[in-house]
Amino acid sequence: MPFVEEIIKHKTVSIVGLDKDTGKTECLKYILNRLKDSGHRVAVTSIGIDGEGVSQISGNEKPEIALYPGMVFVTSERHYKERQLGSEILDLSTRTTSLGRLVTARCLMPGKVMFSGPADTVWLRSLLDELPHHGVDTTFVDGALSRLSPGSPAITEAMILTTGAAVSANLRTLVSKTKYIHRLIGLEKFKSTFEEALLAKESGIWAVHSDGIDDLGIPSVFMLAKFIDRLKTDVETLYISGALTNKVLDVLRQQPNISRLTLVVRDFTKIFADKESFDAFLGRGGKIKVLLRTSLKAVCVNPISPDGYTLNSQELCKRLSEEIAVPVYDIKQI
């Protein structure tokens, strides 16, 4: 299909669900099945844990992920031992996760596996750089939209977003929420010689100048209002290492230098402000940019909610296509 042909032009692709049960795993299964006899060499890993038979959040059954001979995968020692396929080990990490070291292996016989990948963005980036040395053309990363996730799907070159009835039973609300996430994914990249230094910051709020970065001594975004006097009017660029929330934007848009202020966050997954606060900040002249930016290549929809109601697939695809400038598919219909 056209979107599969498009995404395999990239070395790294993340698949990210707007919510649980939006068809993320089904989308990955579809892609792998389409590529199994293509000669295109793929690898699969995850941010966090995926591939389990039952969702740990909703308790609903989840489709298992099948791999095919020649495909490379990366998972923890624990989940490697539980695999239901024949494989050969290519590499074993020196670093460990809570589930053990990471095993890089090649599938020799078709079967199923649960994925648990690198514990943070830096490690994930390093892994993605290593996999081409094992003959991999494209690596697929099962991503996550979560402020609690230490890893970011935005480090991949391209991305597929899944959305659907699990987000909202109301078509207008579903389209509006998906459109807003589409806007966030498309935020401008902040270009700076201090990008790597900023990415290494795990806490605090930092002033970015042309000649360096300064710790403002604000330990958390949740304490911004208490320490707002430390935000000097000559500061024009702020890096927020944590989540960007309504409260943070509401505090900052009251500042006298708002029209000259640029907020920088790690990537779009760190933005948890709603559309109203986001637009109010921009309306006052503020700007928001990201350190890590990916290119959204397709949106895949699941019109069926885990609660049992179903939206009209054709209408959903049509409405989304009218609002966002990327292809929209229901993979059950193509």
pLDDT in tens, 75-93: 999 999 999 999 999 999 9
Question: Does 258 share its domain with 203?
Answer: yes
Question: Does 24 share its domain with 149?
Answer: yes
Chosen domain end from 258, 274, 290: 290
Q: Which secondary-structure segment (H or E) carries 301?
A: strand 295-302
Question: Does 219 share its domain with 93?
Answer: no
Question: Does 161 share its domain with 17?
Answer: yes
Question: Does 276 share its domain with 305?
Answer: no
pLDDT at 226 over 90: no
Question: Does 104 share its domain with 220?
Answer: no
Tokens at residue 108, please? 């020799």
Residue ranges making up the domain that contains 51: 2-186+293-333
> At residue 247, what is the residue type?
K
Q: What is the rounded average pLDDT for all residues in the chain?
A: 90
Indicate the pairing of strand 237-240 with strand 205-209. antiparallel
> At residue 20, what is the residue type?
K
pLDDT in tens, 52-77: 443 444 444 444 689 999 999 999 99
Q: Which residues contact 59 (CB under 8 A, 6 or more apart)?
A: none
246: domain CATH number is 3.40.140
Question: Does 94 share its domain with 221?
Answer: no
The predicted pLDDT at position 228 comes to 81
Question: Does 207 share its domain with 123?
Answer: no
pLDDT in tens, 109-152: 999 999 999 988 889 999 999 999 999 999 999 987 765 566 78
pLDDT at 47 over 80: yes
pLDDT in tens, 231-282: 766 788 999 998 999 999 999 998 888 899 999 999 999 999 999 999 999 9
Question: Does 177 share its domain with 276?
Answer: no
Question: Does 243 share its domain with 201?
Answer: yes
pLDDT in tens, 312-324: 999 999 999 999 9
- Of 44-53, 282-291, 297-306, least confident by mean pLDDT is 44-53
123: domain CATH number is 3.40.50
- The radius of gyration computed from the CA coordinates of the chain, to the nearest angstrom, equals 21
CA–CA dist 115, 51 (Å, integer): 6
pLDDT at 51 over 50: no
Q: Which residues contact 295 (CB under 8 A, 6 or more apart)?
A: 157, 158, 159
pLDDT at 26 over 80: yes
Encode burial over 261-278: b for 16+ CB neighbours within 10 A, e otherwise. bbbbbbbbbbbebeeebb
Question: Does 147 share its domain with 250?
Answer: no
The predicted pLDDT at position 225 comes to 80
The predicted pLDDT at position 148 comes to 56
Question: Does 127 share its domain with 164?
Answer: yes
- Domain count of the fold of the chain: 2
Neighbouring CB atoms inside 10 A of 285's CB total: 12
Q: Supply the pTM of this predicted model.
A: 0.90
